[in-house]
Chain A
Amino acid sequence: DTAVSQTPKYLVTQMGNDKSIKCEQNLGHDTMYWYKQDSKKFLKIMFSYNNKELIINETVPNRFSPKSPDKAHLNLHINSLELGDSAVYFCASSQGSIYGYTFGSGTRLTVV
């Protein structure tokens, strides 16, 4: 069983569309994250939820909206997609604040 799974793996869409990426973890972790990795490979945190509560909301356009229906799931919805949103989006989870993360396999988003 995959520990952190996210779907889809690839997403190609036109500017202006709305899309969602889903993430699920079966590790029993309390905390889940969304990270964005740009073309320069720099991983930057976007959001974090702890037990369904939003605890980190970095400077991200409000077109991006995370939703955590339960502590095993964290989805990312993006409205009005722009060219600059093209990147790889990684979901991750951890148990508490001082432990490392387990990452999902990533979603490569391409906006055309």
Chain B
Amino acid sequence: GQNIDQPTEMTATEGAIVQINCTYQTSGFNGLFWYQQHAGEAPTFLSYNVLDGLEEKGRFSSFLSRSKGYSYLLLKELQMKDSASYLCAVNNGDYKLSFGAGTTVTVRA
């Protein structure tokens, strides 16, 4: 089976940094994705990691350690528009992305 865990909620101040952790135990591994989902909207792609290490893309970075079954998404210089749910998802190679329950990030002024 698939087990993907991430915190339910996080709150941070505008301009700050927030790190969202994700741990996973899956039957296979072909990459880890992070998606952003604003309320009432579709999830949109943020990042993809298949090898260990850090991938940086503007204000967002994502890290992966396959041996530890661990990833994090780092959001820097937080803006109000970053208030959303962040979904960790693992591709286990059989045409299926398995999602965590999502972390709701609230950015306060």
Which residues does chain B contribute within 8 Å of A55, judged by CB atoms? 95
Cα A50 to Cα B30 with chains together (Å): 18
Q: How many A-B residue contacts, CB cutoff 8 Å?
A: 58
Asked if A62 is an interface residue, CB under 8 A from chain B, the answer is no
Asked if A104 is an interface residue, CB under 8 A from chain B, the answer is yes
Cα A55 to Cα B94 with chains together (Å): 9
* Residue among A31, A104, A106 with max Cβ neighbours from chain B (10 Å): A106
Q: How far is the CB of B77 from chain A (nearest CB, A)?
A: 24
Interface residues on B, range: 20 to 34
Interface string of A69-112 (1 = CB under 8 A from B): 00000000000000000000010001001101111111000000
* Residue among B89, B91, B95 with max Cβ neighbours from chain A (10 Å): B95
Cα A98 to Cα B96 with chains together (Å): 9
- Find A103's partner among B30, B31, B42, B104 (CB 8 Å cutoff): B42
Contact B93 A103 (CB under 8 A): no
Contact B42 A97 (CB under 8 A): no
Among B84-103, those with CB < 8 Å from A are 85, 87, 89, 91, 93-99, 101-102
A residues lining the B interface (CB < 8 Å)? 31, 40-45, 48, 50, 55-56, 90, 94, 97-98, 100-106
